[in-house]
Amino acid sequence: MATSTPTSLSISMSPPDPSSLPKANPISLPSSNATPKPKFSNLRLLPCDPLTDGPPILSQQIAAFSNPVEPFFFVLYPPTEKFEDAVKRSVDRWLADTSARYVKVVDKKGNLISAAKWLIKTSPLTEEQKQEHINVDWHADDDSNEWAAHLINWVHQHQLKYTKGEPCVGRSNFSPFNFSIHLRYQLPFFHVTCSPPTNSSSHHILPSFIPKLHTNTPFPVLESLTTHPSHQRLGAGTLLMEYGTAIADELGLPAFIDGTIIAKHLYESHGFKAIDGGRYIEIPVPDKWRNREDRPVSRYLFYIREAKGR
């Protein structure tokens, strides 16, 4: 997957009957004043539709994380997995998560160029759920599944060091689905749904479960944010960041991001600061995988944005 992927693909899938889809629970969100106005008149912020936006969102993520290659994204969406299967896995997770709110930025022709996933968590998780081990089964062999599980669960445990279970807004660029960004995610959508994990792999997709799995009270989470490489630096990422930080400010919560240094300016322009002087956090590689080209070291930065007054 070293080459860029078109922004939209025609895939052989049978979309579910809309009438059979789960209904989202009513959630009290901040007022519409939280929605930012685009800096460029040809960009629009809109809600996403899982039946039509799933394929182009994953397609743009693949393109964004292929050049330069972001190893963690391909832990979430390996090249060995069929595109149709990866889309189904992400859409299944999407539909099962009634706390998810997907938003996208489109150009003047209506083409999707950027997207983000926000979670509004309205009920606490049990201690058992917070300590749950994420199982991986979407890779081609057991060793690769074990490697992926090591990375994803390490990131999850590391988040607890900073979030401490307190209410917050979070986003992991390691959510391929943004797990983090580059103005290229949603790793993550890098990640796991807010509903209790099950044995179904469709509920264990991304590691962007940071504050989401650690908090005991309601909070919004930005699980992913990606922009197609051909449309970066045009303001789409800013629109999606402003949307989320406005919600965090109205709720009076701090915000966190697992991200790369490439997007450092974007994050800092929205009030985020990298911890430890901007030094990379490195996921340790166990001896059994050390010095293997297919088991590269993953590095990221952890950004914090202090809570603003309500």
Q: What is the pLDDT of residues 133-149, one digit of tens each?
A: 889 999 999 999 999 99
- Inside any domain, residue 21: no
Residue pair 55/85 in contact (Cβ under 8 Å)? The answer is: no
The total number of residues shown for the chain amounts to 310
Q: Is residue 33 part of a domain?
A: no
Position 107 in a domain: yes
d(CA 53, CA 55): 6
Give the C-alpha separation, 131 to 123, whole Å: 16
Q: Model-level pTM?
A: 0.68
Mean of the per-residue pLDDT values for the chain?
70
DSSP characters for 28-48?
Answer: ----GGGSPPPSSTT-EEEE-
pLDDT tens digits, 205-247: 222 322 333 344 445 555 677 788 778 888 898 998 888 788 7
- Domain that includes residue 174, residue range: 48-305
Does position 40 have pLDDT exceeding 60, yes or no?
no
- Report pLDDT digits (tens) over 78-116: 999 999 999 999 888 888 877 777 889 999 999 999 998
Which pLDDT does position 234 carry in this prediction? Answer: 83
Question: In this predicted structure, what is the pLDDT of residue 57?
Answer: 93
CA distance 45 to 51: 18
| Confidence at residue 24, expressed as pLDDT on a 0 to 100 scale | 34
H-helix or E-strand spanning residue 143 = helix 142-163
Residue 187 forms part of a structural domain: yes
- Is residue 108 situated within a structural domain? yes
pLDDT in tens, 167-180: 555 555 444 333 32
pLDDT at 21 over 90: no
- Whether 3 maps to a domain, the answer reads no
Burial-class residue 65 by CB neighbours within 10 Å (0-12, 13-18, 19+): buried
pLDDT, mean of residues 44-72: 89
Structure tokens at 192: 């796991």
Residue 165 lies in a domain: yes
Residue 28 lies in a domain: no
Question: What CATH number does the domain containing 281 carry?
Answer: 3.40.630.30
* CA neighbor of 121 nearest in space, from 216, 3, 214, 218: 218
